[in-house]
A and B are shown apart, each in its own frame.
Chain A
């Protein structure tokens, strides 16, 4: 029967093919094994977290960066404006002096007056010591 002979032919073709598969050398088998492992490793990579993916991540990140930048700018400008405030107004004792129109010149020389005070104290200290030496 034609079908029987065809079936025999096809079985023989399959058997010859499988025999050639069995005759593969070790080098080829090793390379195939390595290729398979590399391919399978792709499926084991960690699954990305939902909140790190998605189309909303980029706009949300950009908005966050803008908010931080605006906050930083506000704080920096606030500090800069504080730094030009006269030294005297940082101390409540000198507030009346600064606010008084007549004494603005005195504010400008505040450091001078402090130095003067220091010199006076040192001078008084030296005078006391020399007086004590004369008497003693």
Chain B
């Protein structure tokens, strides 16, 4: 009892920071890879996707670490989507400037990854790997064809697995809007992907 009473506020703040850091680390470790894939599908560039995820992690830690833990997922993805949009806008402006002065070279998309084309060390069936690669490429292409809000709703609800309320918070819209966007996205994707996945 005396020990608890003698604890200074400074010591308690330090404990709180360490505990928060532990929980934040666990949360980010669980989402970082999925967040990267989501950013990569949107941005079509590995380095831009890494920058976006890194920035989102830092912003969450700096400004929202002391929020309740259940608020972290929608906050994190809201920040991530914001960073992705910023990157896309910068890229659009840069492309306009480049095309104005001397034509556009498509340098944003990743060149063929030598590691991806190397032999699989796990020894999986090459046919399965090819099929998997083709399936993800088809999904990415179909998602790129969707309007932004429909794509965000599909990615957050279906790929990431957020519930309707968290998806609405991350997108900054109502739950009804999320359901509408998702319904339209699913309808479009089934139409474009149906023949690949039958």
Contact = CB atoms under 8 A, between A and B. Distances in A.
A31 interface: yes
A13 to B, nearest CB: 6
B21 A24 contact: no
Contacts of B135: 16
Given A36-B28, A39-B28, A47 B136 contact: no
Contact of B28 (A27, A31, A40): A40
A82 B157 CA distance: 85
- Majority-rule SS of B interface residues: helix
A15 to B, nearest CB: 9
- Majority-rule SS of A interface residues: helix
Contacts of A19: 132, 136
Interface in A1-40: 6, 9-10, 12-14, 16-17, 19-21, 23-25, 27-29, 31-33, 35-40
Contacts of A33: 32
A31 B10 contact: no
Interface in B12-66: 13-14, 16-18, 20-21, 24-25, 28-29, 32-34, 36-37, 46, 50, 53-54, 57-58, 60-62, 65
A39 B58 contact: yes
26 contacts: A9-B189, A9-B190, A14-B159, A16-B132, A17-B34, A17-B37, A20-B37, A23-B132, A24-B33, A31-B50, A32-B32, A35-B50, A35-B57, A36-B29, A37-B25, A39-B24, A39-B28, A39-B54, A40-B21, A40-B28, A43-B17, A43-B20, A43-B61, A44-B17, A44-B18, A44-B21
Interface of B: 9-10, 13-14, 16-18, 20-21, 24-25, 28-29, 32-34, 36-37, 46, 50, 53-54, 57-58, 60-62, 65, 113, 115-116, 132, 135-136, 139, 158-159, 161, 186, 189-190, 193, 197
